[in-house]
Amino acid sequence: MAKSKPRYKRIAQLKTNDDFKSHIGQLNLQMPFKDQLSEPARSSLAQPLSLKSGKRIGNRFCILPMEGWDGTTDGLPSDLTRRRWHNFAISGAKLLWGCEAVAVCPEGRANPNQLMINQKNLDSFKQLYQDIIDQHQQRFGDSSDLEVGLQLTHSGRFARPTKGKPGQPMILYRHSVLDKKLDLPDDYPLLTDSEIDQLVEDFIGAAQMASEAGFHFVDIKHCHGYLGHEFLSAFNRPG
């Protein structure tokens, strides 16, 4: 007889505080719970955070990087991109952790309309950054405690950089499940050591351009099976 799948309570079914506390009790978990939220100004998330560098971030609300996939095919921001970044700026969050997943080279995009940073596009990224600072300043009167980063990515196995064409995976090693999912033959080529060396240079160059554009830091994407994630699990990679 087939094993029945576990059934998990949907969070949306827990309508009240008591529902939530009862569910936590059934799971035999010890979890602190506040029946009443603090006044907004006294909330833990509203308090500033000081970094080791000495930088003071105005609160602990954070916006994580998105993948809007609504840029132009040469990696420039569109009006939709600018609208989304405008909403980041006026949200009240003082930490914009990456803003958007930005490709470091054309072949590393997960979508033909993914943003990409290079010398040709650098002025547009300078403008995106400055717009965030100006719009935040206009709304809240202070942008000195705003921290803005840019996420850098290469989509690796899930690269699909060309409109109207299938994916063009760039892989580090054989993966029995994902190779089958992407219909990759057994002899599909792996990235060479020299190609990896070039990718390292691409990330370094992109980080330098992000700094030139004004961003305070970069985040390197290491999740969702993209290239950075694959590096973390390439234990048996030849080369």
Give the pairing of strands 95-96 and 101-103: unpaired
Residue 54 falls within a domain, yes or no?
no
pLDDT digits (tens), the chain, 239 positions = 567 777 888 989 999 999 999 999 999 999 988 888 889 889 999 999 999 999 999 999 999 998 899 999 999 999 999 999 999 999 999 999 999 999 999 999 999 999 999 999 999 999 999 999 999 999 999 999 999 999 999 999 999 999 999 999 999 999 999 999 999 999 999 999 999 999 999 999 999 999 999 999 999 999 999 999 999 998 888 76
Residue 196 falls within a domain, yes or no?
yes
Query: How many Å separate Cα 194 from the centre of its chain?
Result: 27
Residue 7 falls within a domain, yes or no?
no
Rounded to a whole number, what is the distance in angstroms from the first to the last CA of the chain?
46
pTM of the model: 0.87
Tens digits of per-residue pLDDT, 73-123? 999 999 999 999 999 999 999 999 999 999 999 999 999 999 999 999 999
Q: Identify residue 134 by its one-letter amino acid code.
A: D
DSSP 116: B
CATH number of the CATH domain containing 163: 3.20.20.70
Residue 123 falls within a domain, yes or no?
yes
Residue 55 falls within a domain, yes or no?
no
Helices (H), the chain: 17-26, 79-89, 122-140, 176-181, 193-213, 227-232
Q: For the chain, how many structural domains are there in total?
A: 1
- Domain encompassing residue 183: 63-232
Give the pairing of strands 49-50 and 217-220: unpaired
Residue 20 falls within a domain, yes or no?
no
What's the Cα-to-Cα distance from 167 to each of 69, 153, 170, 207, rounded to whole Å? Answer: 15, 16, 9, 26
116 beta partners: 103
Residue 51 falls within a domain, yes or no?
no
Dist. CA 168–CA 71, nearest whole Å:
20
Dist. CA 101–CA 65, nearest whole Å:
6
Confirm if 214 and 136 have CB atoms less than 8 A apart. Answer: no
Give the CA-trace dihedral at 59, 65, 68, 70, to 10 degrees: 90
Residue 49 falls within a domain, yes or no?
no
